[in-house]
Amino acid sequence: MPLAQDEEALLLDNALTLHRERTFDVNDLDGLATPFLLIDEVILTRNIERMADYCREHNLALRPHTKTHKSLEIARRQLAAGAVGLTVAKPGEARVMDETGASLLIAYPPIIPACLTAIEELRWRGDIIVALDSFVAVERLESILSRNGPGVGALVDIDIGLGRTGVSNPEASTQIAERIVACAELRLDGLFCYPGHITELPDEQGEPIARATEVLRRHLDAWVANGLQATIVSGGSTPSAYNSHLMTGITEVRPGSYVFNDANTLRGRHCLLADCAARIVTTVVSDAVPGQVIVDAGSKALARDQCFPQPVTGYGFVLEYPEARVKSLSEEHGQIDISQCSRKPRIGERVSIIPNHICPAVNLTDVMWLRTTGGSLKELRVDARGMVR
Ligand SMILES: Cc1ncc(COP(=O)(O)O)c(C=O)c1O
C-alpha cells in the first residue's frame, strides 16, 4: 500500500533530521572507494536484539534466515543474542554457515544432486533439517543418505497463501509425512510454512494471519488424527515478524531482512528509517544533464529490484536528499532525478542510498563495511556470496 502524502512528508522530514543529527558524514570515509556497502553497527545490534527479545517474550524459537547477510560474523551475533539455529536457502550457504556450529535448516526443496550431496555430508553434524514438499524429494534423500548415519530432520512444507512451494492440502502433507516416517534415514520434525504474502501494514495483518493460521490448523489437525507429531512448526518473515505470536501453532520464526531492513520494509511501514542499517555509499560523478545527477552505483551495486510497496519511488532511498528519486539504473550508473530537491548534490559529493531489496544487493559485493559503535570501520566478508547452489 502506498504511503499517504502526509506520511511521505514525515519520512522526508525524518530523513533530513537523521541526516542533520548524524555524527559522521559519509564524505569523511574517503579511504574507501565507492560504491561500497556500509552497515551501521548500532542499528544492526538493535535490530538483532529486538527480534531476539520479541521471540523470547512470545516463546518462539528464532532461526534467522542468513540469505540476507551471508556473513559468519553476523550469524554468530544472531546466535549470541539467542537464535536456536540458522536458516539457509542453498546447500552452498549451509557449507559456509557450518562453521558457526549452529543447527541448520535448509529451507529449499532438496532435488538437485549438489543439494543432496551437501545434505549427506552435513548430516554427520547430527542437526541438519530440510524442508521439502514432494515424494520425489523424500525418495532422492533416501537414495543418497547412507545407512546408519545420524537422522536428517524433515519438515513438510505447506502453502499458507504465497503459492510458491508447499503442498496445498492436509492429505498431501499427511501422506508425505507418513512417507518420511517410513524412511529410516529421515526424522519427521514437523511442518514448514512461509507467510511471504503477508505484506499489509502491521496493524492490518490480523485477517491475513487468521486465514494462514486456519490453513495451518487444518494440517495440524490432520496430523494429530493420523498420529503424526510436529515438534517444530517453522514460519515467519520480516513484514509479519512482530505479529508472529498471532499465528497460533508455529513454534519458530525465520525472518531474514529484519537484520538490515531496506526501502521495501521502510515503505511497507514494517520498520522506521532509524531501523535501516545498510546503505550503499556512492559518489556523484556527473551533473551534465539539468535536473539530474549520476552516481557511481548502478544495478551492479544496488540490484534492480523495484520497491514493491511503492514502485514509483525508484531504485532506493537517498538518505541525504530524500526528495531525490533514483529513476533509472544502468550497470555502473545511477540516474537520480533531483528536480524536487531544495539542495542539490555536487559533483564529487558522496550520498547514501538504502537499496529497495537488501538481500540481492549484499550478494553483489565481497565485503560490507561495518561502522562500529566506536566509529571505526571494520571489514565484514560476505562469506556466502554467490552461493546459489
Ligand atoms: C523460505 C523463507 N523463509 C524465510 C524468509 C525470510 O523472509 P524475510 O526476508 O522477509 O524476513 C524467506 C525470504 O525469502 C524465505 O524464502
Q: Where do the DSSP E strands lie in the chain?
A: 36-40, 61-62, 85-88, 103-106, 128-132, 152-157, 186-192, 232-235, 252-253, 278-286, 292-295, 317-318, 325-329, 334-337, 350-354, 367-371, 377-381
> Is 256 near ligand 1, meaning CB less than 6 Å away?
yes
The mean pLDDT of 22-51, rounded to a whole number, is 90
pLDDT bucket at 169, cuts 50 / 70 / 90: very high
The mean pLDDT of 363-376, rounded to a whole number, is 95
Name the residue at shortest CA distance from atom 7 of ligand 1. Answer: 237
Report pLDDT digits (tens) over 213-266: 999 999 999 999 999 999 999 999 999 999 999 999 999 999 999 999 999 999
> Is 109 near ligand 1, meaning CB less than 6 Å away?
no
- Omega before 239 within 30 of 0, i.e. cis: no
Q: 23 C-alpha vs ligand 1 centroid, how far in Å?
A: 33
Q: Rg of the chain over CA atoms, in angstroms?
A: 22
pLDDT of residue 30: 77
pTM (two decimals): 0.95
359 close to 264: Cβ distance less than 8 angstroms: no
The mean pLDDT of 296-318, rounded to a whole number, is 96
pLDDT of residue 279: 97
The mean pLDDT of 75-104, rounded to a whole number, is 97
d(CA 66, CA 323): 32
Residue 215, all three cell numbers = 490453513
Q: 69 C-alpha vs ligand 1 centroid, how far in Å?
A: 12
214 close to 197: Cβ distance less than 8 angstroms: no
From 90, 254, 257, 388, mutation site for ligand 1 pocket: most ligand atoms within 8 A of C-beta: 254
> Is 267 near ligand 1, meaning CB less than 6 Å away?
no
pLDDT of residue 27: 78
- What is the average pLDDT score of the chain? 95
d(CA 95, CA 110): 15
Report pLDDT digits (tens) over 275-284: 999 999 999 9
Ligand 1 atom closest to the Cα of residue 258 is 11
Ligand 1 atom closest to the Cα of residue 239 is 10
pLDDT of residue 171: 98
Return the minimum-mean-pLDDT range out of 62-71, 226-235, 303-312: 303-312
pLDDT bucket at 23, cuts 50 / 70 / 90: low
Amino acid present at 147:
R
pLDDT of residue 146: 83
pLDDT of residue 21: 66
d(CA 28, CA 46): 24
Report pLDDT digits (tens) over 106-146: 999 999 999 999 999 999 988 999 999 999 999 999 999 98
Instruction: Tell me how far the alpha carbon of residue 326 is from its chain's centroid.
Output: 23
